[in-house]
Amino acid sequence: MKNEYYKYLCVSEEDANWGLYVLYVGYTSVAAHAQYPQEYYPSHHYFTWKSGRILDEYQILYITRGEGYFESDSHKQKVTAGTIIILFPGEKHRYIPDPDIGWDEYWIGIRGSIIDNHVHHKFFNRENPCINIGVNEKVVDLFNLIIDKTRGKNKEDQPMMSGVALHLLGILYYMVKQKSQESEQKDLIINQARDLFSSNISKDFSPKMAADQLKIGYSLFRKLFKNYTGLSPGQYFIQVKIEKAKNLLEDQSLSIKEIAYDLKFDSCFYFSKLFKQKTGMSPTIYRKKADTC
C-alpha cells in the first residue's frame, strides 16, 4: 500500500437508515520527524496537538507501527503499535506520533443507531477508548477491505462497507471481553496465591507448591505474580514471613530462635540476616525498639 490513502464518502438517506454507515476511511504512514497531521485533512477534521478536535461521529483509529500519545476529555495514555483508539462524538481529543519514531495508522469514521446502541450498553466507553490488540492481520485486512470498496464507484458498496465495519466492532468487543476475562483470571490466581502464602506461613511450603496447587506452570506463575505485585513469589513469601516475625517479636516470651523455627527459616542466622535486609535492623534491635514504644 502507498504511504497514504483517504476517501470521504457521500452518504444517502437510505445509507443512513441502514443503521451503520461509513463516512470515511484512510491510511497514513508517518515517518519520523514528519508533519502531523498532514495538510490534506479537510478543515472539519484537521487539528493540531495544541488545538485538539471534536468530532460529530465515531472514529476507529488503529496504530500498526510506531508509538505516540493520545489524550481526550476522559483518558490519556502513551500509545504503542497494536493499539485501537475509539474516538467518540462530542469528546475533545488529540493524538500524535512520537516525532522520533512516527507511526502507521488506519482510520474509519462511522455513524448509526447500531454503534450508538453499543455505546449505550457500555460495550465501548469513553473512559477506556484505547484497546491494545497487537498488530492483528485480520483487523488490518478488514480496514484494507473497506479501503478497497471505496476505490470503486458502485453505490451499493455502502451496505457492504457497513457490514465490514460491524464485523470490525464485533472483533474489538470480543477482544475487550477476552482481555477482561483474562485479567479477572489473573486476579483470581494472584489472590489465591496470597491466601496460600498467608495460610502456610508456618509450614514447609514453597512458591512451587503454590503453583502446583493452583494448577499452573511455575514459570508462568512467577511471571504473572511478579508483574502483578512487583515481587517474585519467593520474595513475596519472605516478605509475608518478615511481617509476621515483626508481630511475633513483640511477644517477649518467644526467643528469636523459636520465631525463626516457627516460620520455617533454615536457621536463626539466615532469619536474622534476611530480617535486617528487609527492615534495616536486626531482630534484637527491632524487639528493643518495639518494647520502648
Residue at grid coordinates 511475633: 248
Q: Taking 60 as the threshold, does the pLDDT of residue 154 lie above it?
A: no
Q: Taking 80 as the threshold, does the pLDDT of residue 116 lie above it?
A: yes
- How many whole angstroms separate alpha carbon 93 and alpha carbon 76? 9
pLDDT of residue 178: 83
- How many whole angstroms separate alpha carbon 136 and alpha carbon 139? 5
Residue 126 and residue 137 in contact, taking contact as beta carbons nearer than 8 Å: no
184 falls in which pLDDT band (50, 70, 90)?
confident
Range name among 93-97, 164-168, 176-180 with the lowest pLDDT average? 176-180
Mean pLDDT of 39-47: 76
- How many whole angstroms separate alpha carbon 258 and alpha carbon 255? 5
224 falls in which pLDDT band (50, 70, 90)?
very high
Residue 225 and residue 190 in contact, taking contact as beta carbons nearer than 8 Å: yes
Domains and CATH numbers, the chain: 4-179 (2.60.120.280), 202-292 (1.10.10.60)
Q: What is the pLDDT of residues 70-79, one digit of tens each?
A: 999 999 999 9
Residue 8 and residue 24 in contact, taking contact as beta carbons nearer than 8 Å: yes
- How many whole angstroms separate alpha carbon 213 and alpha carbon 192? 10
pLDDT of residue 205: 94
Neighbours of 204 (CB within 10 A): 7
Cell (9 digits) for 143: 480496514
Q: Taking 60 as the threshold, does the pLDDT of residue 1 lie above it?
A: no
Q: Taking 60 as the threshold, does the pLDDT of residue 45 lie above it?
A: yes
Q: Which amino acid is at 105?
A: E
- How many whole angstroms separate alpha carbon 131 and alpha carbon 127? 11
Cell (9 digits) for 8: 470521504
Exposed/middle/buried for residue 68 (C-beta within 10 Å: 0-12, 13-18, 19+): buried
Q: Taking 80 as the threshold, does the pLDDT of residue 190 lie above it?
A: yes
Neighbours of 31 (CB within 10 A): 14
Q: Taking 90 as the threshold, does the pLDDT of residue 293 lie above it?
A: no
175 falls in which pLDDT band (50, 70, 90)?
confident
DSSP state of 135: S
In the chain, % of residues over pLDDT 90: 72
Q: What is the pLDDT of residues 231-269, one digit of tens each?
A: 999 999 999 999 999 999 998 899 999 999 999 999 999
Q: Is the dihedral of CA 220, 223, 228, 234 positive or negative?
A: positive
Neighbours of 113 (CB within 10 A): 13
pLDDT of residue 51: 92
Residue 193 and residue 233 in contact, taking contact as beta carbons nearer than 8 Å: yes
User: Across the chain, how many H-helices and E-strands are there?
Assistant: 10, 8
Residue 119 and residue 57 in contact, taking contact as beta carbons nearer than 8 Å: no
Residue 129 and residue 46 in contact, taking contact as beta carbons nearer than 8 Å: no
Mean pLDDT of 7-35: 91
In the chain, % of residues over pLDDT 70: 96
Cα angle value 62/67/70 (rounded, 5°): 70
Q: Which residues lie below 8 Å from residue 8, measured CB to CB, with a gap of 6+?
A: 23, 24, 42
Q: Which of 169, 56, 167 is nearest to 111 (CA)?
A: 56
Q: pTM for the full model?
A: 0.68
